[in-house]
Amino acid sequence: GGGGGQGSSPAVKKKNSPSKSAQRARTQGKKKPLPAFKATDTEYVVPFQRLQGGDVSGAFAKLVEAYAPMRDSVMRQRSRRRIERVKAAKRRREGSVEEDNDEDSSEEGGEAGADVARMRQSVCLGLNQVTRGLEKGELSLVLVCNDASPALLTQHLPMQAAAAKVPLCAIGVTSQRLGGVFGAASAL
């Protein structure tokens, strides 16, 4: 003989047989959690679409022009937060629990302030906000710097943008130059 008998074939695990964790979960009355889809869990590569030559300078100029009204508002808000933190720390050190009555005016100049507020709500800055915006489907365009460092941070964005059906474009402007526009050390 040779392998013609019924009992001589090795045991083959069926594809549809549940895993041990699924069996354990079933015995405890729980369902096995579904695996989360990640944009990086694919063998396909979606490259960055890059702007060429004059398009880059035009896009950068438009970006600077559009963000200019918001920049002052963002800088004021950052300094206001810092001042509030410093004042709160000083009050804690002194043991004082008094409330300050010098509140800044909450209006930023009528309609101009409202426009700035609307614009700030429509712009996501930073990798975490952009990723979250793509996940929620809130973005209509994503711009990424070519020289983002380390590159590993931004490699998931093309696939995630493609999954969300949002155009993504890599601009050749250095992240330090773009960061200066937004009042940060660098931008991704």
Q: pTM to 2 decimals?
A: 0.50
Per-residue pLDDT tens over the stretch 133-150: 888 888 888 888 777 777
Q: What are the DSSP E strand ranges found in the chain?
A: 142-145, 168-171
At 128, the pLDDT band (50, 70, 90 cuts) reads: confident
Per-residue pLDDT tens over the stretch 70-91: 776 666 666 677 788 888 888 8
**Amino acid found at 47:** P
Report the 10 Å Cβ neighbour count for 74. Answer: 17
Per-residue pLDDT tens over the stretch 29-81: 666 565 555 555 666 667 777 776 667 777 777 777 877 777 766 666 666 77
Indicate if the pLDDT at residue 103 is higher than 50.
Answer: no
State whether CATH 3.30.1330 applies to domain 53-95+109-182: yes
Indicate if the pLDDT at residue 184 is higher than 60.
Answer: yes
Report the 10 Å Cβ neighbour count for 164. Answer: 17
Is residue 142 classed exposed, middle or buried when 0-12, 13-18 and 19+ CB atoms within 10 A define those classes? buried
